[in-house]
Amino acid sequence: MQFSEAWLRSLVNPELDTRQLGHLLTMAGLEVEALAPAAAVFSHVFVAEILSAEKHPNADRLQICQVNVGETTPLTIVCGAPNARAGLKTACARVGAELPGIQIKQAKVRGVESFGMLCSARELGISEVAEGIMELSADAPVGANLRDWMHLDDALITLKLTPNRGDCLSMAGIAREVSALTCAPVQLPDSVPVVPQFTDTVPIAIAAENACPRYCGRVIRGINNAATTPAWMQERLVRSGLRTIHPVVDVTNYVLLEMGQPMHGFDLAHLQGSVRVRMADVGETLVLLNGQRIELTPSSLVIADDTGPLALAGIMGGQASGVSASSQDIFLEAAHFTPEAVAGRARAYGLASDSAHRFERGVDPQLPTRAMERATRLILDICGGQPGPVIAVGTGIVPRPAIPFRPTRVCKVLGFDLADELMVSILERLGLTLEQAGEGYLASAPSHRFDLNREVDLIEEIARVHGYDAIPASPLRGEHAMLPALENERTGKEIKNLLVARGYQEVITYSFVPEELDADFREQGEKVPLLNPIASQMGVMRGSLLGGLMQTLRHNLNHGQERLRLFELGRVFISSKAAEQPVRVAGLMYGTNLPEQWGEKNRASDFYDLRADVEALLHPLAATFVPGHHPAMHPGQCARIRVSGEEIGWLGALHPALTQKYGLAKTPFLFEIALPNLVKRPMPRYRSVARHPEVRRDIAVVVDESVAVGSMLESVKAAHVPLVSGFDLFDVYRGQGVENGKKSLAFNVLVQHTEKTLTDSEIDTAVQNVLGILGKNFSASLRG
């Protein structure tokens, strides 16, 4: 909200300069966003009257003006403004004047001496736009200093208010605040009732009392439509960022700024029958004051007569019934609309208005009647006319319960001591009334402070008015204790560090992805579309982290990168339910297995390179890999990851169709694992160190081609064969000596006793036990 400092000081005038006043408001929570002078710095400029204006003999667009500046002898000034004419009162910069970027000197213009300059508002830094020299009102005193007469030493203050302080969207509200902060006396606008001069009224009915608890109206007849808005009101409106339109409209805008009550004037000649506050009917339309035609919905509150809607309640009036230059009889309204009835409606129609801005944040429900009297008095003073009685319909104020207030609680919450008398004084200066109740009080908030509802609100007010910068600084005291670290769990940071150590780089991608990308990589769940996406290509929530990794891969390939290792830890969205939004870790491998170097020949990365990284990530979990299927993976190069029989993720090569679709020259390899399963790890167990070396025996068995080596390894290790400390595959053979449909697998069997040297018999028994397990479970036979 922007306003004139001079206007504020006419209501409350603390002994503070402009900077101090701005600091005070900011520290009290009313942030001063901008503080600027009302006009640029200039000097030696006076009110002048053009006595005559004659064409310059040597220039078609120049005039020679005789100008009265309050002295006995007029000045001769050459002027090129098209609006320079005899009888006009304007601004004259005399010789020696300092204007923004200009110093006025005596000069000869096309052979004629000029003793000054007639100024436009732009040349004086008053306005950014100007057509010709300034045109002052007829009552401007010739010879007066222009800065003094136009109050140009004023400052423009712009507040950035929080939504809960709608009461400060008015000069009266800001004045109350300054008075409470400084104890300076405040003089609020006069709202003495105007005596009606006739009994004519317009019938009023409220059909939506929940949305409009109070509606006031008054007829004013016989206004002078030739009247003009006085200069003092125009000055305050303009410095508040509003333009002048019509005296009646200017008065309603002025009361809006002064008291915070939005108002509207209707041309009485365009009203038919009664005025009704109701919800709009389906199919109704309305042309607003800005010329925009809108189609109303049943959720829109309107002001209507017997013919249809006249205004969009709390937002903007209608064009057909608005006050115009020909209006003589008007119907003036002031109403209280609840925030729920107005919030979001202006935005839905693409509108923005000062009225909606205030009603959305809350307006004093007691204000309509006072504002009606204030506006009526201003209209009568400016435009004349005869007022009728005020008709007020609706219950108006809903009683608010008293707020318990305990001074001891204030000191406990704020952390320092304040005298009870000081706390009570602060609340009373804010307009609250307090009644003793036991060891505390019952506080009743004024109607304009609708944001005060709980004891903590009052505590905040005391801290704010006392001054945040006045709160004493004291060091915090507390016990330092080491947080527990579970040995059977690891953190996400540990997992990230492990992947970084394996050569991967972390990326963070958007949770919003294109629908097509989500469909390519989503394995389970349903599509989760966004109601209001920030962009068309970010329309759904991701069902997998791999889509973001794929986008990152393509971006880097387009920028010349040829080898990439990427990972991301983040949330995916299986459905819109919060319980189905698990956290996962995913990785991508692309390019050669090693960075470019001279010591070893490079080759393309493959499935087993990725598996090695995943096994390092899973260690020490007892993980197994089984063939699996994933819609985004190569049918023959995809494995499911299991831990203790539970499936926790998968890894594999990208499907050839997707490799081609995304324009990749090589096949990327990817994995995705559920994070909760990954952070778990078994507790370490002590095992004695063997004092004797291991004995190795190699065996070769023949099995069917379909038998998975992993199943064989898992089967032997799960059997815990006595003395067998290791069992691993080291060769696979197909060819001569092995029949078709079979394969030969060579394993090394490590046998060890921790306390003694093994005999050949014990070693042979252990190897035979291993062969027995393979023969029983996989029909394996020892190769001859």
Domain ranges of the chain: 2-38+155-182, 43-149, 204-393, 403-469, 492-679, 695-782
Distance CA 679, CA 676 (A): 6
Which carries the bigger pLDDT value, residue 399 or residue 18? Answer: 18
For 252-266, 515-529, 638-652, 683-697, which range has the lowest pLDDT when averaged over its residues?
683-697
Mean pLDDT of 69-77: 92
**DSSP E strand boundaries for 263-389:** 263-267, 275-279, 285-287, 293-295, 301-305, 308-312, 316-317, 330-336, 386-387
Alpha-carbon distance 701 to 227, whole Å? 111
What integer pLDDT is reported at residue 508 of this predicted model? 96
Q: Which of the four pLDDT bands, split at 50, 70 and 90, describes residue 524? A: confident
Helices then strands, counting H and E runs in the chain, come out as: 21, 40
Q: Is the pLDDT of residue 231 over 90?
A: no
Average pLDDT over residues 112-126: 91
Give the burial class of 50: count Cβ atoms within 10 A of its Cβ; 0-12 exposed, 13-18 middle, 19 or more buried.
buried
pLDDT digit string, tens, across residues 127-145: 877 789 999 988 899 999 9
Is the pLDDT reported for residue 19 higher than 90? Answer: yes
Average pLDDT over residues 249-264: 96
Output the six-digit token pair for 83: 């609006």
Domain 492-679 -> CATH class? alpha beta
What 3-state class would DSSP assign to 257? helix
Quickly name the fold that domain 43-149 has. OB fold (Dihydrolipoamide Acetyltransferase, E2P) (2.40.50)
* pLDDT given for residue 448 in this prediction: 92
- The Cα 662–Cα 255 span in angstroms is 63
Mean local confidence (pLDDT), 630-646: 91
Tokens of 384: 């004349």
Task: Indicate the pLDDT class of residue 766, thresholds 50, 70 and 90.
Answer: very high
Distance (Å, whole) CA 441 – CA 464: 20
Instruction: Note the pLDDT of residue 196.
Output: 95
CATH topology of domain 695-782: Alpha-Beta Plaits (3.30.70)
User: For position 463, what pLDDT does the model report?
Assistant: 94
Rounded to whole angstroms, the Cα distance separating 653 from 149 reads 82
Distances (CA, A) of 644 to 169, 621, 682: 65, 9, 11
pLDDT in tens, 330-388: 999 999 999 999 998 999 999 989 999 999 999 999 999 999 999 999 999 999 999 99
Mean pLDDT of 390-400: 82
The tens digit of pLDDT for each residue in 580-622 reads 899 999 999 999 999 888 888 889 999 999 999 999 999 888 8
Whether 2-38+155-182 and 403-469 share one fold: the answer is yes
Contact present, 65 and 87 (Cβ < 8 Å): no
Q: Is-contact 407 420, C-beta < 8 A?
A: yes
Q: CA–CA separation, 179 vs 177, rounded Å? A: 5
Among 3.40.50.300, 3.40.50.2300, 3.30.56.10, 3.40.1190.20, name the CATH number for the domain at 403-469.
3.30.56.10
Q: What is the pLDDT of residue 287?
A: 94
- Burial (Cβ within 10 Å: 0-12, 13-18, ≥19) of residue 313: buried
Q: Residues 35-63: what's their mean pLDDT? A: 92
Average pLDDT (562-571) is 95
> So what's the pLDDT on residue 748?
95
User: In the structure encoding, which two tokens stand for residue 479, read together?
Assistant: 């016990």
* Superfamily holding 204-393: Phenylalanyl-trna Synthetase, Chain B, domain 3 (3.50.40.10)
pLDDT at 578 over 80: no
- The rounded mean pLDDT for the chain is 92
Q: Environment class of residue 484 by beta-carbon count within 10 Å: exposed (0-12), middle (13-18) or buried (19+)?
A: exposed
pLDDT category of residue 397 using cuts at 50, 70 and 90: low
Q: Taking each helix axis as running N to C, give the angle between helix 420-429 and helix 171-182, from 0 to 180 degrees, rounded to the nearest 10.
A: 160
At residue 396, the pLDDT reads 61
Q: What is the DSSP string of 192-224?
A: PPPPPS------EEES-TTT-SEEEEEEEE---
CATH tag, 2-38+155-182? 3.30.56.10
